[in-house]
């Protein structure tokens, strides 16, 4: 059985991704659980996969809430559908959406097919992690960004609010760091 290697990018930042190896006969439910584990989400919410193309358009739906595949149903069952059933091209793409309320969205791309499986490994398997996983339950309004910068520069909350470094001087590098991570906006 072929081993499929997928790269799962967080839609908000393509520098944050996880590579997951999965046996082609395993189901989309197995794949869903692997993504949840790799991104350290709690797994309490429903999810959907959408077949996609190079323009990331959404087509057929696979859902955790559908338990049986039925003819002309609006969605397929993740439980009953093997991954190989929807892998038709060498660079197959899917969109994965977790938690309908929060709409965590990930872009999933097939990046490799191999016949070499290790009998000593359990699949699906996260083989690579790049970037810090997003926090599933955010504290709200940019708090995560400020905490990242605070950790980076070892500044206290009061110093951050005033824009000063720990030496009491105006710290342009902190304000530059805030602007540099502002989601792609260049003019302020």
CATH code of residue 10: 3.10.290.30
Residue 138 lies in a domain: no
pLDDT value, residue 183: 44
Looking at the fold, whether 98 and 152 belong to one and the same domain comes out as no
Same domain for 98 and 13: yes
What pLDDT shows up at residue 162?
59
Radius of gyration of the chain (CA): 20
Whether residue 147 is contained in a domain is answered as yes
| Domain identity same for 24 and 115 | yes
Burial degree of 6 (CB within 10 A; 0-12, 13-18, 19+): buried
Structure tokens at 154: 């070892």
Q: Are residues 30 and 100 in the same domain?
A: yes
Q: Are residues 28 and 74 in the same domain?
A: yes
H helices present in the chain, as ranges: 28-38, 143-153, 157-162, 172-180
Contact 84, 2 (CB under 8 A): yes
Is 152 found in the same domain as 66? no
The residue segments making up the domain with residue 162 are: 143-180
What pTM does this model have?
Answer: 0.71
Q: Is residue 59 part of a domain?
A: yes
Which pLDDT does position 26 carry in this prediction?
96
Residue at 136 is within a domain: no
43 and 122 share a domain? yes
119 in the same domain as 59? yes
Determine contact, residues 150/160, Cβ cutoff 8 Å.
Answer: yes
**Residue 20 Cα distances to 49, 109, 168, angstroms:** 15, 10, 46
Let me know whether 74 and 11 are in one domain.
yes
The answer to the question of residue 75 being in a domain is: yes
Cis peptide before 124 (omega within 30 of 0): yes
Question: What pLDDT, on the 0 to 100 scale, is given for residue 117?
Answer: 85
Pairing of strands 47-52, 61-63: antiparallel
Per-residue tens of pLDDT for the chain, all 188 residues: 789 999 999 999 989 999 999 999 999 999 999 999 999 998 889 999 999 999 999 998 999 887 777 777 778 889 999 999 999 888 899 999 998 888 899 999 999 999 888 888 999 999 999 999 888 776 544 445 545 545 555 545 555 555 554 444 444 444 444 444 444 444 43
Question: Residue 20's closest CA among 157, 164, 122?
Answer: 122
Determine, yes or no, domain membership for 135.
no
Cβ distance 32 to 64 under 8 Å?
yes
Provide the pLDDT for residue 154.
55
In a domain, 49, yes or no: yes
* pLDDT in the model for residue 138: 64
What CA dihedral angle connects 42, 132, 105 and 175, to 10 degrees? 120
């Amino acid at each position: 059985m072929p081993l499929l290697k997928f790269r799962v990018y967080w839609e908000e930042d393509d520098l944050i991704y996880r590579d997951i190896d999965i046996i082609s006969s395993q189901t989309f439910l197995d794949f869903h659980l692997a993504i949840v584990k790799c991104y350290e989400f709690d797994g309490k919410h429903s999810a959907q996969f959408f077949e996609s193309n190079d323009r990331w358009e959404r087509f057929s739906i696979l859902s955790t809430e559908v338990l049986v595949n039925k003819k002309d149903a609006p969605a397929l069952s993740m439980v009953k559908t093997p991954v190989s059933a929807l892998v038709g091209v060498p660079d197959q793409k899917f969109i994965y959406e977790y938690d309908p309320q929060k709409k965590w969205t990930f872009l999933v791309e097939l990046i490799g097919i191999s016949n070499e499986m290790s009998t000593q490994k359990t699949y699906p398997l996260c083989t690579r992690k790049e970037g810090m996983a997003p926090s599933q339950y955010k504290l709200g309004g940019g708090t995560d960004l400020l905490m990242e910068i605070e950790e980076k520069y070892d500044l206290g909350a009061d110093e951050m609010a005033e824009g000063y470094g720990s030496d009491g001087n105006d710290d342009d590098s902190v304000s530059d760091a805030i602007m540099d991570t502002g989601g792609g906006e260049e003019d302020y």
